[in-house]
Amino acid sequence: MVMRWFYLLLLGVAVNFSAAAAERSDFGLTLRSQAATSAENIRFQARYDQQQWKASETAVIVCDMWNLHHCLNATRRGTEMAPRLNQLLKQSRRQGALIIHAPSSCMAPYKDHPARATALNAPAASNLPAEIDKWCYSIPSEEQGTYPLDQSDGGEDDDLVEHAAWAKKLAGMGLNPRSPWTKQTDLIDIHDKDVISDNGVEIWNVLQQTGIKNVVLVGVHTNMCVLGRPFGLRQMAKNGMNVVLCRDLTDTMYNPKMKPFVSHFTGTDLIVEHIEKWVCPTITSDQILGGKPFVFSTDTRKHVVILIAEREYQTNESLPRFALEHLGQDYKVTIVHCDEDGQGERNALPNSIPAITQADLLLISIRRRVLPQDQMQAVRQHIENGKPVVGIRTANHAFSLRGEAPPEGLVAWDKFDQEIWGGNYANHHGNGKTTTVAALCEHEILNGVDLQDFTTIGSLYQVNPLSSSTQAILSGTIPDKPMEPIAWTNKTIFGGRAFYTSLGQIKDFDTKTMNVLLKNAIAWALN
């Protein structure tokens, strides 16, 4: 009996020890950044860096998750995001990370809180950075890029009638409608062993006292407070902290009525991309919590992933411009570029697999590239799952090397044209001949497409005959040659929707016709 009791005691100690070890562990994180492929900073590729951060050397700073905001939509989004953010804090705290709550201008309610005393009583750091007590509006690395949003109106995206009613309600509560916040939202727990401060000097002192080397920023608003506060991303990055933004637990102050006239959530994507290029990497909450990244319920955008690997028609310039100007209101867009020709391996779409596997639609602009097995398999899996695909210009010979065997370790898809587009690309007529374009039928893809006087100087592709599964919707003709289809739909051999057009040379994108056609085709393919 005594031995059994002793065995159970040992087992209990072992279980408790294992639980404690599991609770105080490293964070295994995947840091995403954007790396320029040339000195001109024209093309960027996602870079993923696997890192282990000691929880005891990591702090999570919660930026301005106030109880109220002057923007009603910002209040709603903050309320929706807060429970997931609180789960992240619970798990981070459990693993041994320090939690710092930073609801700016709201210290009074916490004057007697132990977490506030921790900040006030931290000894002065010997390495206090200059101007750590000030907002930081830019760091030198950002001068290489262009800030993506116009937030000069303050970024409110409320309906004007709703906003007026909201301001009236706030005033009726005895609050300033322009700055109604009084504390951090009650949806986020504050523990006694946490820290409460909105002061850059206090927070820096705490970080140094506790041996913090790594910082995760969560909260709002990405383009303003999260970037610029004295404890924000810019200050942490320029002063040597390993800092990341948790990109799914943040939100911008951006009004879609301002440049670049994209949806609110695309505005957040653009700021995240700017941060990944010039400030610091990002992570997502599922890397700590498991499950899936947080997505706002009002963010219903489909994900369009654009694969670009050709140099003849400069779609590395035209497609990003098309995406920003014509897709930014309705879609989440990720652009994947090949390696620069002559640098590294041209037959690769570096770090493309995460984007491809998350895509609702692939838009392909690739010419005679063969891919590593895993990248080609990701493309295949998307299409074999019946997901839609759109191709322009050289996409009908995207993965073929004219019958040549691919180099070792790379994979071709020689029947891609026939199996996906239902095409029969053989060659093209000579350059310099103007192609006249005409409609072959009525189709929803042609809604708003003005073909009057529309011509293209891109060489006319020879694609006849098309598969019986296709429906040709546009024809192209040049003098003394048979008509060729230049745009059609297809049902792939895997049952998905496909659209292809041989239009796509760079001057085509200078026309409304091309842009409307391609946008309509994406909408049709996504059904």
Report pLDDT digits (tens) over 422-462.
999 998 997 778 999 999 999 999 999 999 989 999 899 99
* Cβ–Cβ < 8 Å for 416, 425: no
According to the model, what pLDDT value does residue 433 have? 87
How would you write 425-458 as a 3-class SS string? Answer: CCEECCCCCCEEEEECCCCHHHCCCCCCCCEECC
Pairwise pLDDT comparison (342 vs 472), residue with the higher score: 472
Alpha carbon 150 to chain centroid distance? 19
**Res. 10: pLDDT tops 80:** no
The three-point CA angle 162-164-168 to 5° equals 115
- Span 187-194, average pLDDT: 98
* Cβ–Cβ < 8 Å for 221, 81: no
61-104, pLDDT tens digit by residue? 999 999 999 999 999 999 999 999 999 999 999 999 999 999 99
- Span 290-305, average pLDDT: 98
| Partner residues linked to 32 by β-bridges | 48, 282
Give the neighbor-by-neighbor strand order of the sheet with 302-309.
331-337, 302-309, 361-366, 389-392, 497-501, 484-491, 471-477, 435-439, 455-456
How would you write 35-66 as a 3-class SS string? Answer: EECCCCCCCEEEEEEEEEEEHHHEEEEEECCE
Percent of the chain's residues with pLDDT above 70: 94
Token pair, residue 99, equals 């939690």
Residues 312-336 as b or e (16 or more Cβ within 10 Å = b): ebebbebbbebbbebbbebbbbbbb
> Identity (one letter) of the amino acid at 66?
W
DSSP H/E element including 485: strand 484-491
| Placement of tokens 């909450």 in the chain | 285
Alpha-carbon distance of 67 to 72, in angstroms, equals: 12
Pairwise pLDDT comparison (190 vs 21), residue with the higher score: 190
According to the model, what pLDDT value does residue 21 have? 40
CA atoms within 13 A of residue 161's CA, in its CB half-sphere: 0
According to the model, what pLDDT value does residue 37 have? 82
| Mean confidence (pLDDT) of the chain | 93
Alpha carbon 22 to chain centroid distance? 31
List alpha helices for 189-299, DSSP H.
200-209, 227-228, 233-238, 264-278, 286-289
Alpha-carbon distance of 366 to 285, in angstroms, equals: 33
The three-point CA angle 294-257-247 to 5° equals 20
According to the model, what pLDDT value does residue 15 have? 38
**Res. 24: pLDDT tops 60:** no
For β-strands 484-491 and 471-477, DSSP reports them as antiparallel
25-53, pLDDT tens digit by residue? 899 999 999 999 877 778 899 999 999 99
CA atoms within 13 A of residue 223's CA, in its CB half-sphere: 24
For β-strands 195-196 and 497-501, DSSP reports them as unpaired
Query: DSSP assignment, residue 395?
Result: G
Compute φ and ψ for 316, nearest 5 degrees.
-65, -20
| Placement of tokens 């693993």 in the chain | 95
202-242, pLDDT tens digit by residue? 999 999 999 999 999 999 999 999 999 999 999 999 999 99
382-430, pLDDT tens digit by residue? 999 999 999 999 999 999 998 889 999 999 999 999 999 999 999 899 7
Q: Which distant-in-sequence residues (6+ apart) come within 8 Å of 277 by Cβ?
A: 33, 34, 36, 44, 145
**Single pTM value for the model:** 0.93
* Domain annotation for the chain: domains and CATH numbers: 53-289 (3.40.50.850), 302-525 (3.40.50.880)
According to the model, what pLDDT value does residue 339 have? 81
